[in-house]
Amino acid sequence: MTFSKNVFIPLVNLCRNKCAYCGFRKEPWDSDARLLRPEEVKSILLQGKKACCSEALFTFGEKPEEAYPSIRQELQRMGYSSIVEYLYDMCLEALKLGLLPHSNPGVLTEEEVKALKEVNASMGLMLENASKRLCGAGGPHEHSPGKQPKLRLKTIDYAGKWKVPFTTGLLIGIGETIGEVIASLKAIRSLHKKYGHIQEVIIQNFIPKKDTPMSFHPPPDFNYFSKIVALARVTLQEDISLQIPPNLNPGKITSLIKMGANDLGGISPITPDYINPSNPWPSIETIEKMVASVGATLRERLPVYPKYIKKGCFLSDTVAEVVASLSDKEGFRRRYP
């Protein structure tokens, strides 16, 4: 069982998408709407460095400058034409401090994927579901242009073409059918068969958020959710790790391990899960005990999996240098004081 110790950097919490379940997204007039300034990002990165984190997790709203002139103007004042350009420089700052960026910027063009590969150890984009139906009237993605399955699958395809170690996943409990889950898993399997770049798939359970259109929508039944985890394990290739978020499944990790989960994703000792702030991370010590109770061991990894480190072509020279400083001979996290 593996995990990565990370520091979470919510670069901006405005987004062009308006997913019915999202509690992270803000409007410009909200008091807590923000675009982090470079000095704020560097401060968070330094905290991560001091806490011996290896991963700088950049997760934020998709292309906010397309929906909000105020964000576009702020970026321009800082010398950037897009949030992706700004992300690139912040990833460089992370690398300078010896942290490995893992970016979740939303859908990207091929040129953006190619550029970000140079400064990222890995990248991610939740497919969530391959169903166009969920983007239709009354669906959770009705007002989210970036959630069109074709766009998301295309971004994952670009990542494969440019050999980017990649994370994707499904969001379970938002109104999908079993058939749509199977189709989504098969779409991921097909892309991995084509490129071999998908290092992990997250199976994430929907959690209702206050003051969202889906605040009263019930979370998925655990029996249903655990069966989806098992279904993912038998559908996806064996070399794809299956990740479940431990903070969204308190007390149920051991059951999900038995269903085939073998990774717990990023866990931060210093920053909250800004996407699910009401669900704090369990301590690493707590997780170790739960994992041990089913006869498994917990091992810390980097945001890029060992097999991609060994292949070489999946990492830029700049990233590979930092990876070498943090990894042991097997490609896992080197022991630190």
Q: How far apart (Å, rounded) are the C-alpha atoms in residues 88 and 103?
A: 10
Structure tokens at 119: 């400064």
Question: What is the pLDDT at residue 312?
Answer: 82
Question: What is the pLDDT at residue 337?
Answer: 64
Structure tokens at 295: 């006869």
Mean pLDDT of each 10-residue bin along the chain, 337 residues long: 97 98 96 97 98 97 97 97 98 98 98 98 98 98 98 98 98 98 98 98 97 97 98 98 97 96 96 95 93 95 97 95 97 87
Question: What is the pLDDT at residue 278?
Answer: 93
Beta pairing partners, 166: 123, 198
**Within 10 A of 138 (CB to CB), how many other CB atoms are there?**
10
Question: What is the pLDDT at residue 336?
Answer: 76
The residue whose two tokens read 């889906």 is 214
Question: What is the pLDDT at residue 254?
Answer: 96
CA distances from 187 to 42, 88, 191, 290, 326 (A): 37, 29, 6, 32, 33
Question: What is the pLDDT at residue 313?
Answer: 93
Beta pairing partners, 124: 167
| CB of 203 closer than 8 Å to CB of 188 | no
Residue closest to 206 by CA, chosen among 276, 139, 272:
276
Beta pairing partners, 170: 128, 203
Q: How far apart (Å, rounded) are the C-alpha atoms in residues 181 and 169?
A: 11
Question: What is the pLDDT at residue 141?
Answer: 98
Question: What is the pLDDT at residue 307?
Answer: 97
| CB of 275 closer than 8 Å to CB of 11 | no
Dump the DSSP string for 242-277. EE--GGGSTT-HHHHHHTT--EEEEE-SSS--TTST
Q: Is 216 exposed, middle or buried (0-12, 13-18, 19+ CB in 10 A)?
A: exposed
Residue type, 233: R
**Within 10 A of 9 (CB to CB), how many other CB atoms are there?**
25
Dump the DSSP string for 34-93. -B--HHHHHHHHHHHHHTT--EEEEE--SSHHHH-HHHHHHHHHTT-SSHHHHHHHHHHH
Structure tokens at 140: 């959770």
Question: What is the pLDDT at residue 233?
Answer: 98
Dump the DSSP string for 170-184. EEESSS--HHHHHHH
The domain made up of 2-326 is a member of CATH 3.20.20.70: yes
